[in-house]
Amino acid sequence: MKLVQAFCASLMGATLLSGTAGLAAELKIGVVGPLTGPAATSGIAMRDAYQFVVDAVNADGGIDLNGEKTTVTLIFEDSASRPEMGVSAAQKLLTRDNVDLLIGDMFASSVTIALMDVAASYGKFVMSGQPVSSEIARKVESDPVRFANFWKSSWNSDAYAKAVFEAVEGLMAAGKFEPGDKKIAFIFEDTDYGKSNTEYAVPLFKEAGWTEAGHEAVPLGHSDFYPQLSKLRADRPDVVVSIFTSVNSGVALTRQIKETGLDSLHVAIYYPLRPEFHEGVGADSEGMLWTPMLYDPVNNERHKALFDLMGAKGIAATGDHAQGYCQMAMLVDNLKRAGTHEPAKLSEAFATTDFPCYTGRFVYDTANHTPKIGADFLPVAVAQIQDGVSKAVWPPSAATAEFK
């Protein structure tokens, strides 16, 4: 953590005077993400975290690039989580705004997949934010020359599938959860994110002797789950896995599970990391499991340090802020090490990344340009909601509480 402490000290220890002296160049970074639409809350949090880092970098005098002190300017464009809007936004940034490098999408995998080919044709360095779809990594592996200068900032979607599978099987092995017929059901949004997570989870459970009792895809932002739950009540699955980026969908499903009396272990992917989920669902979420618990400022001292850091600037940091902060901090560190935004040299810096941050340590799998996961890298913890508070219960190395 010494590296991240030093990095943060340089961010927060600057003065406005030192930040404006002798600056001779500007690095323009275009950022595409959902600033409206169902994922706008996450997109706005990511935007604010990116800007937080850049403001501090500029206040500290900028970055030395190509022998010049260089300020960083972020130009944001809205994708609304729609691929066609994301592509249009990327084209504007790359042509009209003539940005030096691109971040896209901040959140939606489907948008990232759509703009990868467009961005590659402009010969600029491109980084994605939270998108985890394994299809992104597959595109890189399938054409390493075309996508030599594209890098992900989040792991692949199979990480969530493994986390859910290992948590359920691990709790069973420990005698803490006893399923009946080992039946599992999936309810997921019909997006690349929802589909890819389900795609990887299903075979893991089937190979372990589980039977799939339901496979329900719903539109992004869907809120009426009574038809799906009616079928599930008849099938009586032991575990229900839900996957949404829309918090409204997660709130609706969790409430309706409680209302209909479905007696299954509910395991959620993504949406409970949003504070508005807990505000909206109340006690109906008690006992459910969820992943990824990337940020726990109550029980994790490192996470609390980031919460305090951003809180000093009036930002109540969430998991989205934490990811945004560390992604931009990692990009800035690699720009400093490369000494240029030239795509090939910046990619060389990414290939040798070893950057510890509040959410974990960034080290890349250079075959698919994706950060590694695990206790020594970026951990993917599973939490349980106990007495209204989320506490990590799996894996044991990350646990702050016992499963109830």
Taking only the tens place, the pLDDT of each residue in 241-259 is 999 989 999 999 999 999 9
State the pLDDT at residue 11.
Answer: 53
What are the domain boundaries of the chain? 2-155+297-371, 158-294+380-394
- Assign domain 158-294+380-394 to its CATH superfamily: Response regulator (3.40.50.2300)
Largest Cα–Cα distance in the chain? 70
State the pLDDT at residue 273.
Answer: 85
State the pLDDT at residue 7.
Answer: 56
State the pLDDT at residue 299.
Answer: 85
State the pLDDT at residue 9.
Answer: 52
Q: What are phi and psi of 382, to 5 degrees?
A: -105, 130
| Cβ(240)–Cβ(262) below 8 Å | yes
Q: Is the dihedral of CA 49, 55, 60, 61 positive or negative?
A: positive
Q: Which residues of 17-45 are buried (b: 16+ CB within 10 A; e: fewer)?
A: eebeeeeeeebbbbbbbbbebbbbbbbbb
Per-residue model confidence as pLDDT tens digits over 363-383:
999 999 999 998 889 989 999
Whether CATH 3.30.300.30 fits 2-155+297-371: no
Task: Check if 2-155+297-371 and 158-294+380-394 are the same fold.
Answer: yes
Q: Which residues of 211-236 are buried (b: 16+ CB within 10 A; e: fewer)?
A: ebbbebbbebbbeebeebbeebeeee
Segments in the chain below pLDDT 50: 2-3, 12-23
Q: What residues pair up with 27 in beta bridges, in sequence order?
A: 72
SS3 for 276-311 is: HHHHHHHHHHCCCEEECCCCCCCCCHHHHHHHHHHH
Nearest to 267 by CA among 275, 257, 281: 257
| Cβ(94)–Cβ(117) below 8 Å | no
Q: Which residue has the tokens 């800035």?
A: 332
State the pLDDT at residue 14.
Answer: 42
State the pLDDT at residue 274.
Answer: 85
